[in-house]
Amino acid sequence: MSVFISGATGFIAQHIVGQLLEQNYKVIGTARSQAKIDRLQEQFGNNPNFTMEIVEDIAKLDAFDAVIKKHAKDIKFVLHTASPFHFETTDFEKDLLIPAVNGTKGILESIKKYAADSVERVVITSSYAAIIDFKIEDDTNTVMTEANWNPDTWESCQANAVTAYCGSKKFAEQAAWEFLEANKDQVKFKLATVNPVYVFGPQNFDEDVTSKLNTSCEFVNQLVHAKADDPIPALCGGYIDVRDVAKAHILAMQKDELIGQRLLMTNGKFNFQDIADILNEDFPVLKGNIPVGAPHTGAQHKQIGANVDNSKTKSLLGFKFRTLKETIADTAAQILKHEGKL
Ligand code: NDP
């Protein structure tokens, strides 16, 4: 029996594939082109347990039909990670909302059509973006938990690319829970979602370090390459390490206690000042070259914005998450080694 994972080329998905192969699962991954398949299979040493299929564009509702049909009897677990995560568009419906929502609806419909009896568990990579409420995100008296939902509508989320991305994750996750409710007598699978905040950590393969990284790691990349007199960006959010997010996906498909749960993956808040502190303290090669700001005044040292309480998720998962220092230092070290500076 195999694990089917959409968007296997992604930053998070590559770590999931790696951990699945370490646990001796057979994995069927999807990518948008044969060239991407060839590269990833080679990176995984052409492991015979890792096969791949092309799914060109998840915005098409029938995108998964052919591959789910082909492997129907063999798929026990489905991990749906593919979804656009970037802010580089002004056509929010076409580039963010529709692929996110149709990708989720489409893969679940394909399971219903072709693999209703074989797929037992589905895990959707959702996001804190499906939970966030921008109106109270700065309110230090607020506590956000696994029970909260982003209140934006299809229209209101299209204010800018960030809110549109958040809307795309909300509407996609909502579509999954609604699909299961409407089809619970026709499919066998149980559902869980993984809802991470900003995900940092090394690329699964060192050679995938490029001048521009995936959206979340790019924040670290930008600060590694900032100039000493550049201002420190104001962004503040939650952080979690990619290896912990990957582990949570696998536990979500393995553990019965996680059925029906939204796993809010965060290990606390950070802002760019905290990242600058770690880079300045841990990497002498960066000292004097990147901004210093006001050390030890970041979100690791004082409360900024809404509280997030994910004690339920932490106790369900039962493992310790990596610290900000570890995830940022590992991200930066991989970049600096790639550039021959470490
Ligand atoms: P990546 O951009 O690295 O991965 C996204 C994956 O989705 C890639 O495999 C990409 O393919 C695929 N994809 C995107 N659009 C399409 C499309 N239209 N058709 C087919 N495939 C598509 O991002 P991450 O690994 O960071 O994100 C993975 C998941 O995690 C997403 O669902 C994202 O929303 C979620 N997430 C990420 C967080 C983070 O901080 N990184 C935080 C919270 C949630 P290709 O490689 O060809 O572009």
Task: Judge if the beta carbon of residue 222 lies within 6 A of ligand 1.
Answer: no
What are the pLDDT digits (tens) for 99-145? 999 999 999 999 999 999 999 999 999 999 999 999 999 999 999 99
Task: Judge if the beta carbon of residue 57 lies within 6 A of ligand 1.
Answer: yes
- Name the region of 144 (left: φ>0; alpha: ψ -120 to 50; beta: rest): beta
Task: Judge if the beta carbon of residue 238 lies within 6 A of ligand 1.
Answer: no
Domain-wise residue ranges, the chain:
2-200+240-266+309-319
Give kind and range of the element (H or E) at residue 32: none
Annotated catalytic residue 169: yes
**CB 195, CB 265: distance < 8 Å:** yes
Which tokens belong to 237? Answer: 């959010």
Longest dimension (CA), the chain: 63
For tokens 């798929």, name the residue.
75
What CATH code would you report for 2-200+240-266+309-319?
3.40.50.720
Q: Give the pLDDT of residue 263.
A: 99
For tokens 């029970």, name the residue.
147
Phi, psi of 233 (to 5 degrees): -55, 155
- Residue whose CB lies within 8 A of the most ligand 1 atoms, among 83, 216, 270, for a mutation test: 83
Q: Nearest CA to 97 among 130, 144, 56, 123?
A: 130
For tokens 């290896």, name the residue.
243
Q: Give the pLDDT of residue 120.
A: 98
Task: Judge if the beta carbon of residue 10 lies within 6 A of ligand 1.
Answer: yes
Which tokens belong to 339? Answer: 């550039």
Q: What is the ipTM of this complex?
A: 0.99
Q: Give the pLDDT of residue 198.
A: 98
What are the pLDDT digits (tens) for 177-215? 999 999 999 999 999 999 999 999 999 999 999 999 999
Distance CA 52, CA 30 (A): 6
- Residue whose CB lies within 8 A of the most ligand 1 atoms, among 53, 80, 81, for a mutation test: 81
Angle CA 247–174–182, to nearest 5: 110
Distance CA 209, CA 221 (A): 10
DSSP conformation letters of 223-269: HHT--TTSPPP--EEEEEEHHHHHHHHHHHHH-GGGTT-EEEE---E
Q: Give the pLDDT of residue 253.
A: 98
Distance CA 151, CA 166 (A): 10
**CB 28, CB 71: distance < 8 Å:** yes
Which parts of the chain register pLDDT below 50? none
Which tokens belong to 42? Answer: 């080679």
Distance CA 180, CA 121 (A): 12
Which tokens belong to 154? Answer: 């299809």
